[in-house]
Amino acid sequence: MAVPVERTPSPRPRPSLDGLAFGRWFSDHMFRVDFDEGKGWHGARVVPYGPIALEPAASALHYGQALFEGLKAFRLADGSARLFRPAAYLARLNRSARRLSMPEIDPALVLEGVKTMLRLDAEWIPSAPGTSLYLRPFMIATEPFLGVRPSRSYALLVIGSPVGNYFSGPPRPLRIWVEAARARAAHGGIGEAKAAANYVASLFAAEEAKARGFDQVLWLDGAQHRDLEEIGTMNVFARIGGTLVTPALEGSILPGVTRDSVIQLCRDQGVRVEERRLPLQELRAAHAAGMLEEVFGTGTAALVAPIGELAAADGTMTLPDLGAASLGARLRDGLAAIQRGEAPDRHGWLERV
């Protein structure tokens, strides 16, 4: 399917790759497609990046019908570009849409729109180690209507941003605050959807933690504040006595594509993985017994990030910095090598642009 293109008359200056930050610069073009009840998705096109018109009464602004995704395009050594697991990300977009009473969309249409945009903005895909073009698909309700029901019109857009490391500064183990009072999501809610509302729910506690010198917040379950759930924008893993444990997907945790990729790589390597509830008390007992070997977070933006400290009001767990010898570091390097075409893609995760 051919996607019409309107080229920008004013290309944007590209940022330096030195110290490339996350999410501050945006490429020249964006993909857009609209939905109207009775008509379905229509008008797919690539247009210059720029402001979008939105009615003040648009449903997204009043009732929170807004979701997003995040995936990456990588520059390979031969100069070509690849998307990492786009089918998995677009499948999750549709799962989120169902949960938020928004219309699903043909993944093939979005993928073709993304590829068309990337061919125009190919020079925006950086080549330096640790860099990529982050792609942000998002869907918003656009019907001008004040009333509590699903919107009858929507827009889906995809924008691109050249990025480096998600966390500022050189790579280092992160300091994490364990949030034992507030909750990010509840069982039966929308925690497993990539809804914008889930992220605004996390901001207050995260900003408090950052003001105290921490990088992010570890969220516990919303009912009893007992079991581990997520770390900020990442899924969480703990290596206990040689077994890698990660919270099970039971409705309040985002099913991360990087999480799934890490689990697959572990199984390829014979590393035992358990997906189950992980009480904070179990983590503390393992730490006290010298059985807690490492903790790390995984996410599209951060990839695999080591955790050096888990602090709570009633005590702190300090973890050894294992560096390149850690399982987390090996998984990060192995996954990055696949993404950049430097290691065999045994699971067919790379999609040619």
Q: What is the pTM of this model?
A: 0.96
User: Regarding beta strands 234-240 and 66-68, do their DSSP bridges make them parallel or antiparallel, or are they unpaired?
Assistant: unpaired
Return the pLDDT at 168.
67
Return the pLDDT at 170.
64
Return the pLDDT at 169.
64
- Domain 174-339 listed as CATH 3.40.50.620: no
List the domain boundaries for the chain. Answer: 29-164, 174-339
Side-chain half-sphere of 222: how many Cα atoms within 13 Å?
16
Q: Is 66 helix (H, G, I), strand (E, B) or coil?
A: strand
The segments of the chain whose pLDDT lies below 50 read none
Return the pLDDT at 2.
92
Return the pLDDT at 320.
87
Same fold, 29-164 and 174-339: no
Q: What digits encode the pLDDT tens for the residues 282-316? A: 999 999 999 999 999 999 998 999 999 999 998 99
Strand runs labelled E in 170-258: 174-179, 216-220, 228-231, 234-240, 243-246
CATH tag, 29-164: 3.30.470.10
Query: Which H/E stretch holds residue 298?
Result: strand 292-299
Return the pLDDT at 17.
82
Return the pLDDT at 161.
97
DSSP 67-135: EE--EEEEE-TTS-EEEESHHHHHHHHHHHHHHTT-----HHHHHHHHHHHHHHTGGGS--STT-EEEE
